[in-house]
Structure 1
Amino acid sequence: MNESISNDTRDIILDVTEKLIYKSGIAATSMDLLVKTAGVSRKSIYRYFADKDALVVAALQRRDVRWMHWFTSAVDQAKTPADRLLNLFTVLKGWFDSEGFRGCAFINTSGETGDPQDPVRLVAKEHKQKLLDYVCELCAEYGAEDPQLLARQLLILIEGAITVALVMGDHSAADNAQCMARKLLGL
């Protein structure tokens, strides 16, 4: 089999899986629906992924890379360290206002697992740790006395804004979180 065709098929499977689980969740995304939507055989899916769990984990890991790249690139457009910290919330608001916003895929899928050691939950934890690490870097650039503490506080504002935007349909949650961040930063 041609390697590029093989990679294309794998990418299609991952794209479709990510879209379906983001839209409807893991439980609602059956293998039959994946086969039908991706236009591939079940055998093709199992050629690349041992089972549905492995497929979901791979799709989430891929989303993590793409989302973090998008988010950090957008936030880093701001000029000063203080502006970058505030831009966290401006970028979130743009995401909240985008078509198809359904909250955080990692929070959503974690809510479908009961076991803290479930591979889906571990991918979500890794994603949140990367986000925390990035925010901590921004806090250090800003000159925070305790960058780790400030980053943890800002992460709560980020996650709270995402949740309020999804659950309440209140996209101004990002503005409210930014206002609270200004107070934390003394701006």
Structure 2
Amino acid sequence: MDTRTAIVEAADRLFYERGIQQVSMDELRESAGVSLKRLYADFPGKDAIVLAVLEHRHAMWVSGLDRVAAPLASPRDKLLAVFDFLAEWFVTDDFRGCAFINAFGELGGSSPEVAAAARAHKESFQIYVDDLVEKAGATPALARQLVLLAEGAQTTSAIVADPTAARHARDAAEVLISAAIGAPA
């Protein structure tokens, strides 16, 4: 593993577990197993590391969605797979909610770059769902509703430590999809 990857993975783990502001650069350096000089050679400051972690998290999100949706044929099934992906994620030992929401909450007011990264990630997810809803033959309003269900499930599950939020959101999504495009054949 290269040094940059080691730093990003260590930062991801520490930031996600404890929060960005609670992790010092020295703790990050130690966890990544690099010198402070090397850390700053790869990243000029903490915001740069946060942005790299968010890029890493975005790639994990896209990969996870692709993994659950790729084997499915219909747009309807792919839409519901979003909630299956959430259900898998919510039961992991280290689930702490959406890293983008967490980062935005901590730094969005003071770091325009972090706020922009969070917005770009959320917009990317909306576009993904928009595309599936269009392929399913439903109106764009359904995509907005499904994204709100997914976002709400992430937040609820993180705050109340209840992974069943994904199942409840999936059940609601099935009702919305059936109302928009009819029951499955």
TM-score by length of 2: 0.91
Q: Does 1:17 align with 2:11?
A: yes
- 1:20 is aligned with what amino acid? L
Q: Does 1:99 align with 2:98?
A: no
Q: Does 1:81 align with 2:75?
A: yes
Shift of 1:47: 0.6
CA contact (8 A) 1:106 1:127 kept: yes
4+ residue segments displaced more than 3 Å:
none
CA contact (8 A) 1:81 1:138 kept: yes
Shift of 1:11: 0.9
Q: How many residues matched?
A: 179
Shift of 1:71: 1.8
CA–CA distance in 2 between the matches of 1:8 and 1:101? 26
CA–CA distance in 1 between the matches of 2:150 and 2:119? 15
Shift of 1:117: 5.9
- 1:84 is aligned with what amino acid? K
Shift of 1:101: 1.1
CA–CA distance in 2 between the matches of 1:40 and 1:150? 47
Structure 1 residues 17 and 117: CA distance shift in structure 2, 3 A: closer
Shift of 1:32: 0.9
The equivalent of 2:55 in structure 1 is: 61
CA contact (8 A) 1:116 1:122 kept: no
Aligned partner of 2:157 among 165, 168, 171: 165
CA–CA distance in 1 between the matches of 2:50 and 2:23? 10
CA contact (8 A) 1:161 1:177 kept: yes
Q: Does 1:130 align with 2:120?
A: no
The equivalent of 2:32 in structure 1 is: 38
CA–CA distance in 2 between the matches of 1:71 and 1:82? 14
CA contact (8 A) 2:107 2:115 kept: yes
CA–CA distance in 2 between the matches of 1:143 and 1:73? 23
CA–CA distance in 1 between the matches of 2:32 and 2:167? 38
- Give the secondary structure class of the aligned counterpart of 1:111: helix
Shift of 1:76: 2.9
Q: Does 1:174 align with 2:153?
A: no
Per-residue CA shift, 1:72-129, capped at 9, x if unaligned? 2212332322111111111110111122111111111111025286211211111111
Aligned partner of 1:51 among 45, 53, 56: 45
Aligned partner of 2:105 among 107, 111, 120: 111
C-alpha RMSD over aligned residues:
1.5
Shift of 1:177: 0.7
CA–CA distance in 1 between the matches of 2:170 and 2:148? 12
Shift of 1:66: 2.4
Aligned partner of 1:154 among 146, 150, 154: 146
- Identify unmatched segments of 5+ residues in structure 1: 1-6
